[in-house]
Protein backbone atom coordinates (compact mmCIF):
# COMPACT_ATOMS: atom_id res chain seq x y z
CA UNK A 1 0.00 0.00 0.00
CA UNK A 2 1.23 3.52 -0.73
CA UNK A 3 0.05 7.03 -0.01
CA UNK A 4 0.74 9.92 2.32
CA UNK A 5 -0.20 10.08 5.98
CA UNK A 6 -0.20 13.40 7.81
CA UNK A 7 1.05 13.42 11.41
CA UNK A 8 0.14 16.56 13.34
CA UNK A 9 0.34 16.01 17.15
CA UNK A 10 3.18 18.11 18.54
CA UNK A 11 4.43 15.17 20.61
CA UNK A 12 5.07 13.24 17.39
CA UNK A 13 5.79 15.80 14.68
CA UNK A 14 8.79 17.21 16.54
CA UNK A 15 10.48 14.10 17.91
CA UNK A 16 8.85 11.26 15.96
CA UNK A 17 7.99 7.88 17.46
CA UNK A 18 9.04 4.29 16.75
CA UNK A 19 5.43 3.26 16.07
CA UNK A 20 5.39 5.46 12.97
CA UNK A 21 7.75 2.94 11.38
CA UNK A 22 4.76 0.59 11.12
CA UNK A 23 3.47 2.98 8.47
CA UNK A 24 6.71 3.56 6.56
CA UNK A 25 7.42 -0.17 6.48
CA UNK A 26 4.18 -0.61 4.56
CA UNK A 27 5.17 2.00 2.00
CA UNK A 28 3.37 5.07 3.34
CA UNK A 29 5.03 8.47 3.21
CA UNK A 30 4.71 10.44 6.46
CA UNK A 31 4.30 14.21 6.20
CA UNK A 32 4.59 16.68 9.09
CA UNK A 33 2.65 19.88 8.28
CA UNK A 34 4.21 21.82 11.20
CA UNK A 35 7.01 19.92 12.94
CA UNK A 36 6.91 20.49 16.70
CA UNK A 37 4.00 22.94 16.50
CA UNK A 38 0.22 22.91 16.32
CA UNK A 39 -0.43 23.38 12.58
CA UNK A 40 -2.39 26.36 11.31
CA UNK A 41 -5.15 26.03 8.77
CA UNK A 42 -2.73 27.18 6.06
CA UNK A 43 -0.24 24.49 7.13
CA UNK A 44 -2.94 21.86 6.80
CA UNK A 45 -4.23 23.14 3.47
CA UNK A 46 -0.72 22.77 2.05
CA UNK A 47 -0.10 19.32 3.50
CA UNK A 48 -3.28 17.25 3.42
CA UNK A 49 -4.06 17.07 -0.31
CA UNK A 50 -3.19 13.56 -1.41
CA UNK A 51 -3.13 12.13 2.12
CA UNK A 52 -5.02 8.87 2.62
CA UNK A 53 -4.63 8.94 6.39
CA UNK A 54 -4.20 11.49 9.14
CA UNK A 55 -2.85 10.90 12.64
CA UNK A 56 -4.38 13.98 14.25
CA UNK A 57 -3.97 15.98 17.43
CA UNK A 58 -6.14 18.76 18.83
CA UNK A 59 -5.76 21.19 15.91
CA UNK A 60 -9.07 22.37 14.37
CA UNK A 61 -10.08 20.27 11.37
CA UNK A 62 -12.85 22.13 9.60
CA UNK A 63 -14.83 21.73 6.42
CA UNK A 64 -12.37 23.80 4.36
CA UNK A 65 -9.45 21.57 5.31
CA UNK A 66 -11.48 18.41 4.78
CA UNK A 67 -12.57 19.56 1.32
CA UNK A 68 -8.90 19.97 0.40
CA UNK A 69 -8.06 16.48 1.67
CA UNK A 70 -8.98 14.64 -1.50
CA UNK A 71 -8.53 10.90 -1.05
CA UNK A 72 -8.52 11.06 2.74
CA UNK A 73 -10.03 7.88 4.23
CA UNK A 74 -9.33 8.09 7.94
CA UNK A 75 -8.56 10.59 10.69
CA UNK A 76 -7.11 8.78 13.68
CA UNK A 77 -6.87 10.80 16.91
CA UNK A 78 -4.10 10.13 19.39
CA UNK A 79 -6.68 10.78 22.12
CA UNK A 80 -10.42 10.51 22.63
CA UNK A 81 -11.74 14.03 22.02
CA UNK A 82 -13.09 14.76 18.54
CA UNK A 83 -14.72 18.15 19.18
CA UNK A 84 -11.93 19.73 17.10
CA UNK A 85 -13.17 17.88 13.99
CA UNK A 86 -16.13 18.90 11.82
CA UNK A 87 -17.75 15.49 12.07
CA UNK A 88 -20.58 16.31 9.69
CA UNK A 89 -18.15 17.38 6.97
CA UNK A 90 -16.03 14.28 7.57
CA UNK A 91 -19.04 12.00 7.33
CA UNK A 92 -20.18 13.70 4.12
CA UNK A 93 -16.79 12.92 2.56
CA UNK A 94 -16.77 9.33 3.82
CA UNK A 95 -13.83 9.92 6.20
CA UNK A 96 -13.69 7.49 9.12
CA UNK A 97 -12.94 8.95 12.56
CA UNK A 98 -10.98 6.73 14.94
CA UNK A 99 -10.02 7.41 18.56
CA UNK A 100 -7.32 6.03 20.87
CA UNK A 101 -9.74 5.05 23.59
CA UNK A 102 -8.27 5.17 27.09
CA UNK A 103 -4.68 5.48 25.87
CA UNK A 104 -3.86 8.66 27.78
CA UNK A 105 -6.29 8.19 30.66
CA UNK A 106 -3.66 7.48 33.29
CA UNK A 107 -1.49 10.41 32.31
CA UNK A 108 -4.39 12.87 32.39
CA UNK A 109 -5.73 11.43 35.64
CA UNK A 110 -2.38 11.74 37.39
CA UNK A 111 -1.95 15.33 36.20
CA UNK A 112 -5.44 16.24 37.45
CA UNK A 113 -4.58 14.90 40.89
CA UNK A 114 -1.17 16.62 40.78
CA UNK A 115 -2.86 19.93 39.99
CA UNK A 116 -5.36 19.42 42.80
CA UNK A 117 -2.63 18.76 45.36
CA UNK A 118 -0.55 21.66 44.03
CA UNK A 119 -3.56 23.91 44.50
CA UNK A 120 -4.28 22.59 47.99
CA UNK A 121 -0.69 23.38 49.07
CA UNK A 122 -0.07 26.43 46.83
CA UNK A 123 3.04 24.82 45.36
CA UNK A 124 3.50 26.99 42.23
CA UNK A 125 2.83 30.21 44.17
CA UNK A 126 5.32 29.25 46.87
CA UNK A 127 7.94 28.18 44.33
CA UNK A 128 7.64 31.45 42.39
CA UNK A 129 8.08 33.56 45.51
CA UNK A 130 11.05 31.64 46.80
CA UNK A 131 12.73 31.88 43.41
CA UNK A 132 12.22 35.63 43.71
CA UNK A 133 13.80 35.73 47.15
CA UNK A 134 10.48 36.32 48.93
CA UNK A 135 9.77 34.09 51.96
CA UNK A 136 5.98 33.82 52.22
CA UNK A 137 3.50 31.09 53.07
CA UNK A 138 -0.14 30.40 52.30
CA UNK A 139 -1.88 27.94 54.55
CA UNK A 140 -3.00 24.82 52.70
CA UNK A 141 -5.48 22.02 53.21
CA UNK A 142 -5.09 18.23 53.30
CA UNK A 143 -6.82 15.94 50.83
CA UNK A 144 -7.92 13.33 53.35
CA UNK A 145 -11.64 13.57 54.18
CA UNK A 146 -12.17 16.32 51.60
CA UNK A 147 -14.75 15.82 48.85
CA UNK A 148 -13.68 15.67 45.21
CA UNK A 149 -16.33 16.25 42.56
CA UNK A 150 -15.72 14.66 39.17
CA UNK A 151 -17.66 15.90 36.14
CA UNK A 152 -17.40 13.13 33.58
CA UNK A 153 -16.77 9.61 34.85
CA UNK A 154 -15.32 7.92 31.81
CA UNK A 155 -11.91 6.25 31.70
CA UNK A 156 -10.10 9.35 33.00
CA UNK A 157 -12.64 10.31 35.62
CA UNK A 158 -12.75 6.81 37.06
CA UNK A 159 -8.97 6.70 37.44
CA UNK A 160 -9.04 10.10 39.15
CA UNK A 161 -11.65 8.71 41.53
CA UNK A 162 -9.54 5.67 42.38
CA UNK A 163 -6.46 7.79 43.14
CA UNK A 164 -8.47 10.22 45.26
CA UNK A 165 -10.13 7.40 47.20
CA UNK A 166 -6.71 5.90 47.93
CA UNK A 167 -5.77 9.22 49.56
CA UNK A 168 -8.80 9.06 51.84
CA UNK A 169 -10.98 11.51 49.94
CA UNK A 170 -14.72 11.22 49.44
CA UNK A 171 -15.64 11.27 45.75
CA UNK A 172 -18.92 12.22 44.11
CA UNK A 173 -19.28 12.01 40.34
CA UNK A 174 -21.62 13.23 37.65
CA UNK A 175 -22.03 11.55 34.28
CA UNK A 176 -25.03 11.64 31.93
CA UNK A 177 -24.50 7.92 31.36
CA UNK A 178 -23.32 6.56 34.72
CA UNK A 179 -21.64 3.17 34.78
CA UNK A 180 -23.34 1.16 37.55
CA UNK A 181 -20.46 -1.33 37.65
CA UNK A 182 -18.14 1.41 38.91
CA UNK A 183 -18.99 1.51 42.60
CA UNK A 184 -15.85 1.60 44.79
CA UNK A 185 -16.26 2.28 48.48
CA UNK A 186 -16.38 6.03 49.07
CA UNK A 187 -17.70 6.90 45.60
CA UNK A 188 -21.23 7.78 44.57
CA UNK A 189 -22.99 9.32 41.59
CA UNK A 190 -25.08 12.47 41.92
CA UNK A 191 -26.61 15.10 39.67
CA UNK A 192 -24.41 17.94 38.46
CA UNK A 193 -25.88 20.53 40.81
CA UNK A 194 -25.10 18.38 43.86
CA UNK A 195 -21.58 17.57 42.67
CA UNK A 196 -20.81 21.28 42.34
CA UNK A 197 -22.43 22.18 45.65
CA UNK A 198 -20.77 19.63 47.96
CA UNK A 199 -17.22 19.45 46.60
CA UNK A 200 -14.05 21.01 47.98
CA UNK A 201 -12.47 20.52 44.56
CA UNK A 202 -14.08 19.91 41.18
CA UNK A 203 -12.28 18.34 38.23
CA UNK A 204 -13.67 18.18 34.69
CA UNK A 205 -13.26 15.14 32.42
CA UNK A 206 -15.98 15.54 29.81
CA UNK A 207 -16.44 17.01 26.33
CA UNK A 208 -17.85 20.53 26.02
CA UNK A 209 -21.51 21.11 25.38
CA UNK A 210 -23.39 24.06 23.94
CA UNK A 211 -22.83 26.09 27.13
CA UNK A 212 -20.07 26.16 29.75
CA UNK A 213 -20.60 24.09 32.90
CA UNK A 214 -18.94 26.65 35.16
CA UNK A 215 -20.83 29.92 34.79
CA UNK A 216 -21.50 32.80 37.17
CA UNK A 217 -24.65 31.01 38.30
CA UNK A 218 -23.10 27.60 38.90
CA UNK A 219 -19.95 29.02 40.51
CA UNK A 220 -22.14 30.84 43.03
CA UNK A 221 -23.58 27.51 44.21
CA UNK A 222 -20.16 26.02 44.98
CA UNK A 223 -18.30 26.02 48.28
CA UNK A 224 -16.46 29.25 49.03
CA UNK A 225 -12.78 28.77 48.15
CA UNK A 226 -13.38 25.71 45.95
CA UNK A 227 -10.52 24.43 43.79
CA UNK A 228 -11.32 24.01 40.08
CA UNK A 229 -9.25 21.67 37.90
CA UNK A 230 -9.72 21.53 34.13
CA UNK A 231 -7.75 19.04 32.03
CA UNK A 232 -10.59 18.54 29.53
CA UNK A 233 -11.57 21.56 27.41
CA UNK A 234 -11.41 25.32 27.96
CA UNK A 235 -14.98 25.69 26.68
CA UNK A 236 -16.29 24.09 29.88
CA UNK A 237 -15.52 27.34 31.74
CA UNK A 238 -16.86 30.89 31.41
CA UNK A 239 -13.55 32.77 31.69
CA UNK A 240 -15.05 36.10 32.78
CA UNK A 241 -17.17 34.44 35.47
CA UNK A 242 -14.22 32.45 36.74
CA UNK A 243 -11.99 35.53 36.92
CA UNK A 244 -14.65 37.30 38.98
CA UNK A 245 -14.96 34.25 41.25
CA UNK A 246 -11.18 34.20 41.78
CA UNK A 247 -11.16 37.91 42.61
CA UNK A 248 -13.97 37.46 45.15
CA UNK A 249 -12.44 34.33 46.69
CA UNK A 250 -15.42 32.17 45.72
CA UNK A 251 -12.91 30.08 43.75
CA UNK A 252 -9.70 29.54 45.69
CA UNK A 253 -7.55 28.22 42.86
CA UNK A 254 -8.03 27.41 39.19
CA UNK A 255 -5.65 24.82 37.75
CA UNK A 256 -5.95 24.40 34.00
CA UNK A 257 -4.14 22.35 31.36
CA UNK A 258 -6.37 23.50 28.48
CA UNK A 259 -6.86 26.77 26.61
CA UNK A 260 -8.97 28.26 23.82
CA UNK A 261 -5.81 28.75 21.73
CA UNK A 262 -2.42 27.08 22.06
CA UNK A 263 -0.28 28.83 23.08
CA UNK A 264 -2.80 31.14 24.75
CA UNK A 265 -2.61 34.92 24.45
CA UNK A 266 -2.08 36.90 27.66
CA UNK A 267 -5.21 37.49 29.73
CA UNK A 268 -6.20 38.69 33.19
CA UNK A 269 -7.41 35.18 34.03
CA UNK A 270 -4.18 33.42 33.11
CA UNK A 271 -2.10 36.08 34.88
CA UNK A 272 -4.00 35.69 38.15
CA UNK A 273 -1.75 34.61 41.03
CA UNK A 274 -4.20 31.88 42.04
CA UNK A 275 -4.22 30.22 38.63
CA UNK A 276 -1.95 27.23 37.95
CA UNK A 277 -1.08 26.62 34.29
CA UNK A 278 0.31 23.60 32.47
CA UNK A 279 0.76 23.49 28.66
CA UNK A 280 -1.82 20.84 27.66
CA UNK A 281 0.46 18.19 29.11
CA UNK A 282 -2.10 15.73 30.49
CA UNK A 283 -1.35 13.00 28.00
CA UNK A 284 2.26 14.04 27.51
CA UNK A 285 3.98 11.24 29.38
CA UNK A 286 6.26 8.61 27.90
CA UNK A 287 3.69 5.91 28.62
CA UNK A 288 0.64 7.81 27.37
CA UNK A 289 2.36 8.97 24.18
CA UNK A 290 3.47 5.40 23.49
CA UNK A 291 0.01 3.90 24.05
CA UNK A 292 -1.80 6.63 22.12
CA UNK A 293 0.57 6.57 19.15
CA UNK A 294 0.46 2.81 18.77
CA UNK A 295 -3.32 2.82 19.06
CA UNK A 296 -3.66 5.64 16.51
CA UNK A 297 -1.34 3.92 14.03
CA UNK A 298 -3.16 0.61 14.43
CA UNK A 299 -6.48 2.38 13.81
CA UNK A 300 -5.14 3.90 10.59
CA UNK A 301 -3.99 0.52 9.33
CA UNK A 302 -7.30 -1.06 10.37
CA UNK A 303 -9.10 1.29 7.99
CA UNK A 304 -6.58 1.41 5.14
CA UNK A 305 -5.68 -2.30 5.20
CA UNK A 306 -8.70 -4.13 6.60
pLDDT digits (tens, 9 = 90+) for 87-108: 999 999 999 999 999 999 999 9
Question: Are residues 146 and 268 located together in one domain of the fold?
Answer: yes
Give the CA distances from residue 202 to residues 94, 171, 173, 231, 269, in Å, rounded to whole numbers and listed in that order: 39, 10, 9, 11, 18
Average pLDDT in the 33-39 region? 94
pLDDT > 80? residue 204: yes
Positions annotated as catalytic residues are 233, 262, 280
Total structural domains within the chain = 2
Question: What CATH number is attached to the domain comprising 235?
Answer: 3.40.50.720
C-alpha distances in Å from residue 68, one per residue of 35, 64, 137, 191:
20, 7, 55, 43
Check residue 166 and give its pLDDT. Answer: 98
Question: Each residue of 163-202: pLDDT tens digit?
Answer: 999 999 999 999 999 999 999 999 999 999 999 999 999 9
Kindly report whether the global pTM for this prediction surpasses the value 0.75: yes
Residue pair 161/187 in contact by the 8 Å Cβ criterion = yes
Q: Does the pLDDT at position 1 exceed 80?
A: no
Same domain? For 83 and 54 the reply is yes
Q: Count of CB atoms within 10 A of residue 31's CB? A: 17
113-154 confidence digits (pLDDT tens): 999 999 999 999 999 999 999 999 999 999 999 999 999 999
122 and 12 in one domain? no
Structural domain boundaries enclosing 128 = 105-277
Residues 62 and 123 in one domain: no
250 and 153 assigned to the same domain: yes
Asked whether residue 177 falls in the same domain as residue 289, the answer is: no
| Mean pLDDT across 22-33 | 96
- φ/ψ of 205, rounded to 5, equals -145, 55
pLDDT (mean) for 238-265: 97
Amino acid sequence: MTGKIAVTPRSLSGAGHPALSLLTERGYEIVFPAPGKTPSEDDLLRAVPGCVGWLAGVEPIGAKVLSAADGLRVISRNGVGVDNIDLRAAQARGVRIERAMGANARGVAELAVTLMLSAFRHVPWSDARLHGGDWQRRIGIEAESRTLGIVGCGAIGRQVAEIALAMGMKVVGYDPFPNPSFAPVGFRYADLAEVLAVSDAVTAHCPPGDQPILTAQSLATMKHGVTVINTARAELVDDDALLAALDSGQVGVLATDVFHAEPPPPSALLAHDRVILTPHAGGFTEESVDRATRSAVENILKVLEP
